[in-house]
Amino acid sequence: LQVACVADEKYLPHCAAMLHSLLQFHPDALVNYLHGPGLSGASFAPIASMVACSGGTFTAHEVPDTAINGLQRLREIPPIMWYRVYLPDLLPETDRVLYLDVDTLIVDDLTELWNTDLQDRYLAAVSNTLPPESRGWPRRLGIPAEQGYFNSGVLLLNLEMMRRNQMTERLIAYGRNPGLRLAWPDQDALNKLMGHRRVSLHPRWNCQNSLFYYRWGEEIFGRRAAREALGSPAILHFEGAQVVKPWHYLSKHPHRKKYIEHRTATAWPTVELEGKTTLNRFLRLLPMRATIRILATSFKVRMRFRKLLSGKRGYKIP
């Protein structure tokens, strides 16, 4: 099993927790860690030794800043998310790799996922639990409805086929197009250019936060698959805003304790929950959905105000 992940210094503790959970099921995994320049080897050395002690292999890959110059980015998601589109070049001898976001947690064996028959597809991925107000977004990108829109937190990538079709160059060119304003830049590019050749996976391989809090999962995967994913997830994905991450004070995720347990076993054992403010002490009394709604609304208002001040318009249709 060969995996790849990306993290900056701030996210290293979460990366360590994710990899610790992976090693429980796959102690001899090959781990590829992608990072930017300026991150010293000493900062991720504890992760390298954790992987080696377990019997796995750790390889660090430094990606230069020129690789992500001019690419669209979001305030909430660092531009290093684009590093993963370079995996076909970074692992030239490898035909497939499992990319994992560092806000995921492995809670079951991944052999079945790893052995997915990719045929002539670029990748295997789980559909995104898009909120109702965003369901029209893929169509605006020019993606046909039957293709769906996948979440890019868990990707089984067919590197051989990506190389054969110069996919890295095409993804980068798409992300650098100044005529586009993308909602989730790298995920939009991956969907737009590779989504027509995807193996659609069962939601238990990327069991997104929204499945726990909303009925969107049932609407997208059907009731049965959504319940199966909730009942026996293999990869938990704490996708979404900071407040729903298991290291945030406001998270009420039923599996949050698993994150704390794994974190405690890493070189960053002390978990200081983020966002323990007076306001949040009050918000924590409310149900998670209400909290998310209040915070999302206040975020939208602030963004609208900022746009008004800067004179910038909203998303452009590509």
Binding site for Mn ion (CB under 5 A): 101, 103, 153, 239
Nearer to Mn ion, 15 or 159 (CB): 15
Nearer to Mn ion, 188 or 239 (CB): 239
Nearer to Mn ion, 128 or 291 (CB): 128
Q: Output the smallest distance, CB 214 to Mn ion, in A.
A: 17
Q: How far apart are CA 18 and CA 185, in angstroms?
A: 24
Q: Output the smallest distance, CB 102 to Mn ion, in A.
A: 8
Query: What are 129's two structure tokens?
Result: 């639990």
Where do we find the tokens 């429980």? 24
Q: How far apart are CA 188 and CA 171, in angstroms?
A: 10
Nearer to Mn ion, 63 or 102 (CB): 102
Q: How far apart are CA 27 and CA 45, in angstroms?
A: 18
Residue nearest to Mn ion (CB): 101
Q: Output the smallest distance, CB 235 to Mn ion, in A.
A: 11
Q: Output the smallest distance, CB 11 to Mn ion, in A.
A: 10
Q: Which amino acid appears at position 68 of this protein?
A: I
Coil, strand or helix at 306:
helix
Nearer to Mn ion, 18 or 91 (CB): 18
Helical axes 12-25 vs 41-54, angle rounded to 10°: 10
Q: Output the smallest distance, CB 281 to Mn ion, in A.
A: 26
Give the C-alpha distances (Å, rounded to integers) separating 213 from 171, 273, 288, 290, 296. Answer: 33, 21, 7, 10, 15
Q: Output the smallest distance, CB 38 to Mn ion, in A.
A: 23
Residue 296: count of CB within 10 angstroms of its CB: 15
Nearer to Mn ion, 130 or 161 (CB): 130
The sign of the dihedral angle between the CA atoms of 265, 254, 135, 302 is: negative
